[in-house]
Amino acid sequence: MDLALTAGAGVMPNVPGVICERCAPVAQGPLAPMLMDNQTDGMLRSAAFELETPEAVQVFLNLWGWEPLVMAGAAMRLHLDGYDSDAHSLLEAAAKGNAKHARWFQVEQASLRTMDGSYGKALDLLNETGEKDHPCWNLHHGVLAQTLGRKEAALEHWLRQVEIEPEEPMGWKVLGWYYMQESQDYSAAEALMRRAVERFPEWMEFRAWLGGALHRLGRPDEALAELRAAQSLDPIDEEFVDQVAEFIQQIEADQA
């Protein structure tokens, strides 16, 4: 079992519409703390709509006044449900109608274009913006580079993401994925996850991934200690909790 393949956002997290801590300044007024509530995070991406998706998204937009983060989440939900043209039209309209956050919306568009396979359009959008225009610019640029097979460029962007936005956990996630899966540099993964655990001590997946790196390095006792410690932290989802328990059982069986 490899926890880096199964934790949270998956093998290669694509994160347009993610309501992250570093994107919070985009939300304005009393809506900002509401969007940052754990129960609200990702609402448009996970809600089970009784209405058809476009109509349901319109309800969200009407309720919350076309806030940038809500619009990004709405575009993601449209895209996930197969309404690709609607998703792009929404973000394009948002960019044209909100000069203050136009470049922020362009980065969100670029991420959706990457998911579409429209890599040239994604690159054009990112080249028109920069890392000061969106807290996750390097994250998205790295995902595009990785998709195009430019692994060294992806690594550079993700290292930069962690450097300039250390409080945004998605950067740590993709960089951890890179070390564990792409380069299989488990020593680098261990060092990175120790830093992540120190910065995000309540995050179960970082502690578990540290255990996974230690296991790959042939240090099962240390791995077990970290995995058991991870079990006491708040889970990201029940599936991951089960996977951690199975991983512990596997290591214990190997030691028997």
pLDDT tens for 149-190 read: 999 999 999 999 999 999 888 899 899 999 998 899 999 999
Question: What pLDDT does 70 receive?
Answer: 74
Q: What is the pLDDT of residue 12?
A: 33
What domains are defined for the chain?
A: 3-184 (1.25.40)
Q: What is the C-alpha radius of gyration for the chain, rounded to an integer number of angstroms? A: 19
**C-beta separation of 9 from 15 below 8 A:** yes
Q: Taking CA 241 as the corner, what is the angle to CA 236 and CA 243, rounded to the nearest 5 degrees?
A: 120
Q: CA 158, CA 146: separation in Å to the nearest integer?
A: 10
Nearest to 230 by CA among 256, 168, 35, 251: 251
pLDDT > 90? residue 231: yes
pLDDT in tens, 12-56: 333 333 335 445 444 444 444 444 444 444 555 555 544 556 676
* 176 three-state secondary structure: helix
Model confidence pLDDT, tens digit, residues 68-88 = 777 777 788 788 888 888 888
pTM here? 0.78
Using CA atoms, how far apart are residues 97 and 189, in angstroms rounded to an integer?
42
